[in-house]
Amino acid sequence: MADSKSGSDSKVGTVRVKRGLADMLRGGVIMDVVTPVEAKIAEDAGAVAVMALERVPADIRRDGGVARMSDPAMVEGIQEAVTIPVMAKARIGHFAEAQILESLGVDYVDESEVLTPADEAHHIDKWAFTVPFVCGATNLGEALRRISEGACMIRSKGEAGTGNIVEAVRHLRSILGDIRKITQADQAELFDWAKQLQAPLGLVQEVAETGCLPVPMFCAGGIATPADASLVMQLGAEAVFVGSGIFKSEDPAPRAKAIVEATTHFRDPAMVAKVSRGLGDAMPGLEIGELETKLAERGW
């Protein structure tokens, strides 16, 4: 029998295994959960992963104050409740929170604008970690800056906790539209693109060559219905995060399952129609123009 050793010649935390987990989540739904019971409901509904946090964005928005990393005991409770990957959020720039989450063995850290930023100039050096990171972005330059800092998955920020898809659509269209333009640019124009985007030239050239980000690109912030999931997947998202949209709705379990189905069969309107029937009320939505705080403006 052939034999390999997992000791000396094996490497953890490589770019390939970090980005690879994001690849495995493609076509799936990652759900925000605040208790082990909700985590079970999410897993039962077919979530590919859960995001463990103390308050969903809608509540953070309502309560105000400083939003921080969750209590480790709460994260561990959720890790014990499910077998699917568990993610958790650290504040922008708060590498100590990220270190704590890594020591708990969370599967992905979200350096998230939903929490109150801890550093006004610096994001976390994500290359320094074994655990992979996902970061939000509103445009291509922001996405490439996060990737240059070591992010292994990008999610469009949208406007979390609003149940309003309009910002997520704006961010997706901005990122993917600029990618399409870059693929048409010549070498001299790429220098200018790098300057305009404030992004490393090497990454800009790579995107021009491949026509996509070097890491998977998911969508977050405002998804509340199966139709929302279908919309963002058709626009080019590779998977969706649903925050407040499930557990702030009238009947979370069937809505969770319906959003999973719609994310898989996003090109099949008859399927999306079928799963959209009789789900009860979606979460109450918020008009973007009336918000006091725009979470998407956090980070740069």
Partner 1 sequence: MLALQGASREHTTAFEKLGANVRQVRQPQDLPDLDAIVIPGGESTTISMLLESSNTFDPLAELLANGLPALGTCAGMILLAKEVLDGRPDQRCFGQIDIAVRRNAFGRQVASFETDLDIENLDDPFPGVFIRAPGALALEPSVEVLASVKFDSGEETPVFCRQENVLVTSFHPELTDDLRLHQFFLEHL
Positions in 30-59 near partner 1 (CB under 8 A): 43, 46-49
Taking CB under 8 A as the rule, which mask of x and - marks residues 128-157 in contact with partner 1? --xxx-------------------------
Counting contacts by CB under 8 A, is residue 113 touching partner 1?
no
Q: DSSP for 165-199?
A: THHHHHHHHHHHHHHHHHHT--HHHHHHHHHHHT-
- Candidates 25, 207, 208, 237; binder of partner 1 (CB under 8 A) is 25
* Residue that the structure tokens 């790579």 belong to: 206
Binding mask 63-102 for partner 1 (x = CB under 8 A): --------------------xxx----------------x
Q: Is 7 in the site for partner 1 (CB under 8 A)?
A: yes
As a dihedral over the C-alpha atoms of residue 199, residue 202, residue 205, residue 209, rounded to 10 degrees, the angle is -130
Site for partner 1 in 264-283 (CB under 8 A): 264-265
The CB density around residue 202, as the number of other CB atoms within 10 Å, is 11
Residue 126 annotated to the active site: no
140, amino acid identity? L
- Closest of 112, 141, 140 to residue 126, by C-alpha: 112
Count of residues making up the chain: 300
* By CB under 8 A, residue 206 contacts partner 1: no
Q: Which of 11, 18, 89, 181 is an active site residue?
A: 89
Per-residue binding string, partner 1, 230-259, x by CB under 8 A, is: ---------------------------x--
Burial label for 88, CB within 10 Å (0-12, 13-18, 19+), is buried
State the nearest-atom distance from the C-beta of 204 to partner 1, in Å: 23
CB of 210 to partner 1, least distance (A): 12
Contact at 8 Å (CB) between 149 and 173? no
C-alpha–C-alpha distance, residues 236 and 167, integer Å: 15
Site residues (vs partner 1, CB under 8 A): 1-7, 9-14, 16-18, 20-21, 23-28, 43, 46-49, 83-85, 102, 105-108, 130-132, 257, 260-261, 264-265
Residues marked as catalytic: 89
